[in-house]
Amino acid sequence: MTVITPPETATLAAATASRSTAFWRLKGFPLIPVTILLFIAFVAVFADVLAPYDPQIGSLARRFKPPVWQEGGSWAYLLGTDHVGRDVLSRLIFGARVSMIVGLTAVLVAGVIGTLLGILSGYLGGWADQVVMRVTDTWLALPALTFAIFLAAIVGPSELNIILILGLVYWTRYARVIRGEVLSLKQREFVRLAIVAGCSKRVIMWRHILPNVINSAIVLATLMLGVVIVTEASLSFLGVGVPPPKPAWGLMMADGKKGLMVGYWWLTVFPGICIMLMVLSANLLGDWLRVKLDPQLRQL
């Protein structure tokens, strides 16, 4: 890797500019994973323009067409068609949108709940701490997927419900880590000085604690993105996630599973590769961020 260029000191603008270029040259920057994630995000945003067909409408006349390079495939359907004749490529493209929306919002929901409760619990201590931590311990004992299935069985499947369920299942991961950080921040000079200066608890938590735990929250969020996407895909695969006929990758695999034994491999392999690439990329980026931004989280 190239050496990091020292920031120019002439102007502030120049300094920030060169710092941002230096950022890309940092040792071990996960260029490929980030490119993949950006590509999936791009596809998700422009799905309407990119997809050659409607992802939800097929025609039985052209079902189970193999990918273009296999015998019987055609250029019209690059990656083949599924059991009701829908274009696999178009469904993958729109599936990227589902994964991105569900993944990012669920991580955000879990992050906001977990970070806020973690700060409250760590800073206030006493009863609030006991309650939050006992609930955290208990919910962490429930296997995440089982808990999510249980909740999905109660509220029924929809995209919004899946986001809420994932937020509810995964906030505990943030709460525990953030609380630990807050406990050590509480002992630091600047917080004590703020107390002496007469800042209210709310101001201290909002102005002094929150900015200092945001880094950890971001690292956790990146690491959670992969986990959340796998859980969403698993829920959809089991039929309690994103309801059909929406094109979610997990759902596509569940549909494709029936055709696997007779050789319709493209129905499961392509969405599988998409999930794999997205999750691997998110995890690699998260690992890198963890080491770079937050050495304290290294053993996480």
Partner 1 sequence: MKQYIIRRAGYSLLSLFLLSLTIFLFVRVTGDPIALLTEPGASQDDIEAMRHQFGLDQPLWMQYWHFVASFLTGDLGQSFYYRTPVLDLYFQRLPNSLLLAAVAMALSLLIGIPSGILAAVRVDRFWDSAGKIFALLGLSLPQFWVGLVLILVFSVYLGWLPSSGSGTFLHLLMPAFTLGWYFAAAHMRMTRSSMLEVLGSEYVKLARLKGLPESLVIGKHALKNALIPVITLAGINLVVMINVAVVVETVFAWPGIGRLLYEGVTFRDFPVVQAVVVIGGSMIILVNFLVDILYALIDPRIRLES
Q: Which of 119, 279, 289, 297 binds partner 1 (CB under 8 A)?
A: 279
108 or 142, CB closer to partner 1?
142
Site string for partner 1, 122-141 (x = CB under 8 A): ------------xx-xxx-x
Shortest distance, position 175 Cβ to partner 1, whole Å: 14
Measured CA to CA, the distance from residue 233 to residue 249 in angstroms comes to: 6
Residue 87, helix vs strand vs coil: strand
Site string for partner 1, 254-273 (x = CB under 8 A): ---x--xx-x-x--xx--x-
Site string for partner 1, 190-229 (x = CB under 8 A): ------------------------------------x---
Shortest distance, position 241 Cβ to partner 1, whole Å: 11
Stretch that binds partner 1, among 10-18, 62-70, 178-186, 250-258 (CB under 8 A): 250-258
Place of tokens 């829920």: 235
Closest CA to 216 of 284, 273, 300: 300
146 binds partner 1 (CB under 8 A): yes
Residue 259: how many other CB atoms lie within 10 Å: 17
Place of tokens 């939050």: 132
205 or 241, CB closer to partner 1?
241
275 binds partner 1 (CB under 8 A): yes
Closest CA to 274 of 108, 29, 89: 89
10 or 141, CB closer to partner 1?
141
Measured CA to CA, the distance from residue 56 to residue 87 in angstroms comes to: 9
72 or 143, CB closer to partner 1?
143
Q: Which of 52, 72, 143, 245 binds partner 1 (CB under 8 A)?
A: 143
135 or 195, CB closer to partner 1?
135
CA dihedral (270, 56, 229, 255) in degrees, to 10, reads -60
Residue 169 identity: V
Closest CA to 235 of 110, 111, 141, 146: 146
What is the SS3 assignment for 7-49? CCCCCHHHHHHHHHHHHHHCCCCCHHHHHHHHHHHHHHHCHHH
Q: Which of 44, 92, 240, 251 binds partner 1 (CB under 8 A)?
A: 240
117 binds partner 1 (CB under 8 A): no
102 binds partner 1 (CB under 8 A): no
Per-state percent for the chain, helix, strand, coil, to nearest 5: 75, 0, 25
Cis status of the peptide bond prior to 271, with omega within 30 of 0 = no
234 binds partner 1 (CB under 8 A): yes
74 or 130, CB closer to partner 1?
130
Site string for partner 1, 12-31 (x = CB under 8 A): --------------------
46 binds partner 1 (CB under 8 A): no
- Kind plus residue range of the DSSP H or E element containing 255: helix 249-260
Measured CA to CA, the distance from residue 159 to residue 250 in angstroms comes to: 13
Residues lying near partner 1 in the complex (CB under 8 A) are found at 134-135, 137-139, 141-143, 145-147, 149-156, 226, 230, 233-234, 237-240, 250, 253, 257, 260-261, 263, 265, 268-269, 272, 275-276, 279-280, 283-284, 299
